[in-house]
Amino acid sequence: MGLIVLGLLAETIFLSRSVVDQLQRLSIATSDNVQWNLAQVEVDFLRFQTAIDQAEREGAPILADLRTRFDILYSRHSIIADSPIYGELRAAPENEERLRSFRAFLDRAIPDMDGPDAGLLAALPQLRQDSLALRPDLRALALDGVKTFAEVEARSRAEVSRTLIKLAFSMLVLIVALLATIAVLYGLFRRGQAVADENQLVRSRFEAMVASSLDAILVVDTHGRIIAFNGAAEGVFGYSSEEAVGEQMSDLIVPEHLRDAHNHGMARYIETGEKRVIDAGRVRLEALHKSGRVFPVELSISAAENEDRTVFVSFLRDISQQVADEEELVRARDEAQAGEKAKSELLSVMSHEMRTPLNGILGSLELIDRENLTGQQVRYLDAIRVSGNLLLSHVNDVLDLSRINAMSVRAEEVEFALDETVRNLVDSHMALTKAHGNEMHVHLNSDTLSWVRGDELRLKQCLLNLIGNANKFTADGVVTVEVERLDDGEVVEFRISDTGIGISEDDIGKIFDDFVMIDTAYSRGSSGTGLGLAITRRLVTAMGGEIEADSIEGEGSLFTMRLPLPVVQRSKSISAQPSRSDLEESQNQPLTLVVDDNDINRMIAADMLTQAGHRVEEADGGKAAILAARKTRYDLILMDISMPEVDGIEALQTIRAENGASAETLIVALTAHAATEDQDRIRRAGFDDLLIKPLSRRAVTTVLPLHLVDNQEEDGKQDAISILGPAKYAEALADFHEEAARFLTRLEKPGGRTSDLQAEAHELWGSASVLGVSSAWRHLQMLERADAEVWDSARKQAIGAFRENLSEVS
């Protein structure tokens, strides 16, 4: 718009100038002077002629007048011949010719005019004659002049009028453009005013917000000077706004120990733009009150930037009360935790103390010769056994819960055959299943369930709870256990479903809570603590899995548990353990030492082992065990852990270290410490295995013989030969001996890293177990499991055993 107006303005000026020029030309054309000049040529010529006539009559006295007339005539000619005004007149060729004749006449007369009077007098007749000849030309020139100037005038007028019309039009457009410009400017002005009003509104709103904010708000410029300090800030820091504004913020409200850091932070931001506290959300820091008191604040700072200015806006809150409350809460929590810890310690001690007598009761029951009892007595005995087992499971539940609550549960991973674990668990529930008139089905839906890595012990505990519940709450129905590896490969899903009483929609949300037993007619008859699912959920979470329940009341329930159990590569057929029938066929009666300070427990264990075909000797404590092991070479030592004076762990380590007759004997721990942490501690101490009290007939007849067979090298060897064939076996054995020799060299070299040696021992252990070289196998296993305390003795023993074995081979 501005450009258009400027263009129009330029055009108008240009037109105005043209008009001026044209008017000038017109005025010249119409000027009297110009016309008069032409007419005057004729008049002056006549006067000149008259002067000639007079001079001829009167002689020399009036020659001066004649000369003056000539000069006037001469100048008239010069004006018409030279002045640009007469350009148009001169442009016509006939006029040019006339002017030339005029000039020639004048030029001819000049010598006479300038000469002496006598000469001039003599020339007068010729002059008159010449002037008469020239006169018609001059007349014609004058007339032509009048005509020419009339034409010029008419043309100039037309031109002026055209230019004036153009000028008027241009002015009109200019006026319209100016009006439009004014309208636009007015619009802009109105808009600017609206924006200004809006800004004013926003500003007043912002000011109201800042003023009424409950948080202290400080605005600081890049030099650290406070430029705004609201009412809340006055309350928080004790300064009035007048006192604060203009002051350095760091001097006023930043405690001395933070001042340098604050100033560095500001400088760094201004230099590099790097933000640490700015725009970092809520930050907790300390601030300084006018009174000198340092107090905790929560603040957030943001930088408001535009092209030429940056300011920092800080929102601060005094959190002294909040911090005090938090500290109070932490103290209360610590106290509560201490109370909780004391409670769980009490529970754990109580449970341990209850287990020992229970162990005695249940063990004695197993030993009673039922054949000589009446039916009534057998029923009473069964009642005692059922109640005793129930009591034991309650004690275990409470102990588990208190332990899980007291310490965070960590999953303990081992490699195990998941399919076998599930089948064994289901087998162990068959009696309960039958007792309820149920059928139980197992579906192992994936073929990648043989060897997995995970926490077998805790998984078993969860499955026991779920399968136990399914049977407990189902009568004459079907319990199904499905195991399937999910698509992602890591996770195995366990689905335990039943066709039992189900759980109502209202109750299903509660069943994983502590001590919840749904009050149904059925469950009132059943036994439980309401802790099974609570423990299961905690264990599942600790293993990184999840569990959920679905149920339709009256139709049945489905418990789905998903756990990460990655596959491990292992040849199951080769590492499978010898079957029970192998053991039963074994004619050797193992010599076993039972070590326990509790007479009843020792007696029960001894009787169970005797009934299972062991030759048994007894030791009533760690000391006695060490003495016996020094002299006699036992096949098995069953060692109680908690014993006065010398406990089980110490006795084990002494027996292993002493190099006595039983230094390499299989030693199995027997403990009432059911928690996983305790079990791990015991295993790490170097025991070959661990059995939980009360010792059961099943453990004696299945678990112990598995270990004892390990000793019978020949059996393992035969297994391997039958699998590999004699030629391959011989080859593999030779390779193994080479490997073992290399391992021995590394083991003997001082300074080898324990973890490396243990990894190698693990690998070699695999070969030894496959080939049935069980003496090496045991030492390798010992090395692999040994912790820092027992590493040296395990290493020494292993070196001795390997040297002996390898020298025999060579």
Using CB under 6 A as the criterion, which residues of the chain lie in contact with ligand ADP when the complex forms? 465, 469-470, 473, 498, 500-503, 511, 516-518, 523, 528-534, 557
Considering the complex, state which of residue 547 and residue 757 has its C-beta at the smaller distance from ligand ADP: 547
Shortest CB 503 distance to ligand ADP, Å: 5
Considering the complex, state which of residue 84 and residue 525 has its C-beta at the smaller distance from ligand ADP: 525
User: CA torsion 496→499→505→511, rounded to 10°?
Assistant: -50
Contact 389, 362 (CB under 8 A): yes
Tokens of 175: 């006026």
**Amino acid identity, residue 383?**
A
Considering the complex, state which of residue 288 and residue 534 has its C-beta at the smaller distance from ligand ADP: 534
Considering the complex, state which of residue 392 and residue 503 has its C-beta at the smaller distance from ligand ADP: 503
Shortest CB 274 distance to ligand ADP, Å: 55
As a three-state string, the secondary structure of 138-195 is HHHHHHHHHHHHHHHHHHHHHHHHHHHHHHHHHHHHHHHHHHHHHHHHHHHHHHHHHH
- Across the strands, what pairs with 316? 216, 299
Considering the complex, state which of residue 438 and residue 465 has its C-beta at the smaller distance from ligand ADP: 465
Contact 680, 646 (CB under 8 A): no
Considering the complex, state which of residue 14 and residue 515 has its C-beta at the smaller distance from ligand ADP: 515
Shortest CB 408 distance to ligand ADP, Å: 21
- Distance between CA atoms of 788 and 758, rounded to whole angstroms? 12
Contact 676, 539 (CB under 8 A): no
- Distance between CA atoms of 545 and 539, rounded to whole angstroms? 9
Considering the complex, state which of residue 470 and residue 605 has its C-beta at the smaller distance from ligand ADP: 470
Shortest CB 441 distance to ligand ADP, Å: 15
Contact 235, 320 (CB under 8 A): no
**Closest-CA residue to 78 (of 54, 110, 55, 50):** 110
Shortest CB 558 distance to ligand ADP, Å: 9
Q: What's the Cα-to-Cα distance from 117 to each of 61, 68, 234, rounded to whole Å?
A: 9, 14, 121
Considering the complex, state which of residue 63 and residue 539 has its C-beta at the smaller distance from ligand ADP: 539
Q: Which residue has the tokens 């030791």?
A: 619
Which ranges of 454-520 would DSSP assign to H, the alpha helix?
Answer: 456-472, 505-508
Shortest CB 356 distance to ligand ADP, Å: 24
**Closest-CA residue to 797 (of 698, 597, 652):** 652
Considering the complex, state which of residue 502 and residue 622 has its C-beta at the smaller distance from ligand ADP: 502
Shortest CB 629 distance to ligand ADP, Å: 43
Tokens of 183: 């309208």
Q: What's the Cα-to-Cα distance from 775 to each of 593, 664, 689, 781, rounded to whole Å?
A: 20, 9, 16, 10
Q: Which residue has the tokens 């410009």?
A: 181
Considering the complex, state which of residue 115 and residue 509 has its C-beta at the smaller distance from ligand ADP: 509
- Across the strands, what pairs with 414? 454
Shortest CB 498 distance to ligand ADP, Å: 5
Query: How many CB atoms sit inside 10 A of residue 110's CB?
Result: 11
Contact 773, 713 (CB under 8 A): yes
Tokens of 3: 């450009």
Shortest CB 478 distance to ligand ADP, Å: 12
Considering the complex, state which of residue 85 and residue 496 has its C-beta at the smaller distance from ligand ADP: 496
Shortest CB 504 distance to ligand ADP, Å: 10
Tokens of 53: 């006539």
- Distance between CA atoms of 752 and 773, rounded to whole angstroms? 25
Considering the complex, state which of residue 230 and residue 469 has its C-beta at the smaller distance from ligand ADP: 469
Q: Which residue has the tokens 């030592």?
A: 637
Shortest CB 463 distance to ligand ADP, Å: 13
**Amino acid identity, residue 69?**
R
Shortest CB 345 distance to ligand ADP, Å: 24
Contact 495, 558 (CB under 8 A): yes
